[in-house]
Structure 1
Amino acid sequence: MSALNLTLLLIGLLLIAALAAYAWHLWRRVWANQRARDEAQQERQQRIGGDLSILASSLLDEQLPLIEGSIRIKVLLDNYDSALSNDSRCQVFHLLFEATAEVPTHAGWKALDKAERRRFEKRFNELELQHKAAARIAARWLLDEGLKGSRANA
């Protein structure tokens, strides 16, 4: 074998080794990023689960208005676990969310005249009378079973 062939072979092998080392470095970064993403997702799930527990407890203790609590629980459930959110025992939260979807929030609420506010508040009271028991049952189920089962699956 000539010196030129040997030199080219050696350069080729060095190039292959350098590319392999770089590929290994890139894969390690991909794995580290995936691990960090998984940890962030797990922390997010734990945080939302804790928030759901607080909201459900507050709803049961009547520290939170039923309509507001139901809306907040529904939105967090959608972000926490879609299967849990779609469970038939949580449908009351969806029903109350949809029944109040047209109600303006924040500045829109403040901009309403008193007659409109009273009309909405009357509707809230009707909804609360109709669905309070079901919402309390759903909140209790979330605390006792729903969130615990969902955590086991996460």
Structure 2
Amino acid sequence: MTPFATLLLIAALLLVAVLAGYALHLWRKVWRREQQLADMQSQQHTALAADLRVLAGSLLDEQVPLIEGAIRIKVLLDNYDATLGQDPRCQVFQVLFEETAQVPTHEAWKALDRSERRHHEARFSALELQHKAEARRSARWLLDEALPKNHQAA
């Protein structure tokens, strides 16, 4: 082999080694990023479970209105575990969410005239009477069986 070919071979091997080192560096960054993402998702999952426990407990203790609590639980369940939200024991939250989906909120609620607000409030009362026992059973089931206990992070 000529000295020039040997020099080219050494340069090529050096280039391959540098590129391999750079590829390894990039893969380590990807792995580290994936681990950070997994940790962040785990923390979010744990926080959602804690929030669900607080809401379900508040619903049982009647510290939050039934309709509001059910809507909030439904939204958190969708973010926590969509399959859990579809469990038949949690369907009451979905039903109440759908039954109240057309009700204006925030500024739109304030803009309603008194008769419209009373109409919606009467509907809320009827829904609460119809679904209160089932919503309480579902909240109890979430606390007792579906969600991890406080000391067992999600």
Alignment partner, residue 92 of structure 1: 92
Alignment partner, residue 67 of structure 1: 67
Alignment partner, residue 138 of structure 2: 138
CA drift at 1:2: 1.2
Contact 2:49–2:148 (8 Å) recurs in 1: no
* CA root-mean-square deviation: 1.2
| Aligned amino acid, residue 8 of structure 1 | L
Alignment partner, residue 9 of structure 1: 9
Q: Equivalents in 2 of 1:28, 1:53: separation in Å? A: 37
Q: Equivalents in 1 of 2:59, 2:48: separation in Å? A: 16
Q: How do residues 1-154 of structure 1 correspond to structure 2 at under 5 angstroms?
A: 1-148=1-148
Question: Aligned residues: percent identity?
Answer: 59
| Aligned amino acid, residue 47 of structure 2 | R
Q: Equivalents in 1 of 2:88, 2:79: separation in Å? A: 17
SS in 2 for 1:148: coil
Q: Equivalents in 2 of 1:63, 1:86: separation in Å? A: 25
Q: Equivalents in 1 of 2:12, 2:115: separation in Å? A: 83
Q: Equivalents in 1 of 2:5, 2:120: separation in Å? A: 87
Q: Equivalents in 1 of 2:107, 2:46: separation in Å? A: 32
Length-normalised TM-score, structure 1 = 0.96
CA drift at 1:3: 0.8
CA drift at 1:35: 0.3
Length-normalised TM-score, structure 2 = 0.96
Gaps of 5+ in 1: none
CA drift at 1:133: 0.2
CA drift at 1:148: 2.6
Contact 2:71–2:96 (8 Å) recurs in 1: yes
| Aligned amino acid, residue 145 of structure 2 | E
Output one character per residue of 1:80-135: Cα deviation in whole Å (capped at 9) or x when no partner: 00110000000000000000011000001000000000000000000000000000
CA drift at 1:47: 0.7
CA drift at 1:147: 1.0
Q: Which runs of 4+ in 1 moved over 3 A?
A: none
